[in-house]
Amino acid sequence: MRIAIVNDLRIATEGLRRVVCSQPENSIAWTAACGEEAVRKCREDVPDVVLMDLLMPGINGAEATRQIMERSPCAILIVTSTVAGNFSLVCEALSHGAYDAVATPVIGDKPPAEAGELLLAKLGQVNKIRSRIGSEMRTAELAKPRTNGTAQGGPRTLPLLAVGASTGGPNALRAILSQLPRDLAAATIIAQHISADFAASLTAWLANQCKLEVRTARDGDRPQPGLVLVAGTNDHLIMSPDGTLNYTSEPIGNPFRPSVDVLFQSLARCWRPSVAVLLTGIGRDGAQGMLELKLAGWHTIAQDEKTSVVYGMPQAAFQLGAACEVLPLDEIAAAIQRKIPRI
């Protein structure tokens, strides 16, 4: 991987360089001594991963993270002298899209690979995920028809709101959708764990609760502004490379149907960075998919424990570092609207 180092201390930069380069698959893309320089260099040359310090002259690492994720998104790992001592800034950076945080390794007399074992482990996890996303995105790009860039022309055009939910999900969905305006400049796609027998009833109930148009997703549907599409069969709903929604039985072994992970992972491959929300539900479905979305530049929101009926899925996302924000249910709609404008 090509890794950038952002740190105002020369000794820390050199230590990080030694740790990173102890693995032959890694190289240094560039270094920066302040947040402003990091933002500029990311615009000019986006690395695979940025190792971001927090306390620097000028803008801090949290603000630099925000600007990078807005202008040239990439995986950002916070590397700071003390995670606990800088906890508020760490949380701020994570809310802006940083993947995770780790203490700056102290090499001393140890070999760099040993001293930086935890940092290298986190880099390894990032690499596994981005390698998978990268290969699938390249496959999708080869298969993707070229479009004229209209709002319904496929990936990287229309803002998207992707929502996953399970136990307690219907009321959580109602609470959010009822607060969204009719002229929201985004399409919405929902994967709620529910039997196909009840999906139509859920869709009709939601349609009566909100200003947006709500209907069951059909094979070949394209996302449209102001339209909410709800997965409505026992198969998984996915975004295809041509920008259409389709149902698939694979993976057959996944007990959660429709799977939030399967939907989110397809969006990470096939759609521009937008907004994803993971709501109340049992299990871990959606957590890994949300992590892949976050690493692809999406703004990710998980429901908090207090307002969740079952704090399983959003908790799993939080534990993976997949959530940019963890919010109570009554604040999620406002957070969505801060990221997605009206038409």
Q: How many CA atoms lie within 13 A of 234 on its CB side?
A: 6
Tell which residue, 37, 296, 307, has the closest CA to residue 168.
307
The DSSP call for residue 100 is E
Catalytic residue among 48, 53, 235, 285: 285
Contacts of 41 by beta carbon, 8 Å cutoff, 6+ apart: 4, 30, 32
- Residue 59 CA: distances (Å) to CA of 36, 104, 138, 200, 220: 7, 19, 35, 50, 46
**CB within 8 Å of 18: residues ≥ 6 apart:** 107, 112, 116
- Is the CA virtual torsion 229, 233, 238, 239 positive or negative? negative
Indicate which residue of 48, 72, 100, 166 is catalytic: 166
Active site residue 166: yes
Q: What are the residues whose beta carbons fall under 8 Å from the beta carbon of 305, sequence distance 6 or more?
A: 311, 314, 315
Is 266 catalytic? The answer is no
| Bridge pairing between strands 49-52 and 236-239 | unpaired
Rg (CA), the chain: 20
Annotated catalytic residue, options 193, 240, 259, 308:
193
Name the helix (H) or strand (E) containing 50. Answer: strand 49-52
CB 217 within 8 A of CB 238: no
Give catalytic status of residue 285 as yes or no.
Answer: yes
Alpha-helical runs (H) found in the chain: 10-20, 35-44, 61-71, 87-95, 112-115, 117-143, 169-177, 196-207, 260-270, 287-295, 313-320, 329-339
**Coil, helix or strand for 247?**
strand
β-strand partners of 299: 275
Measured over the CA atoms of residue 156, residue 66, residue 10 and residue 125, the dihedral's sign is negative
Active site members: 166, 193, 285
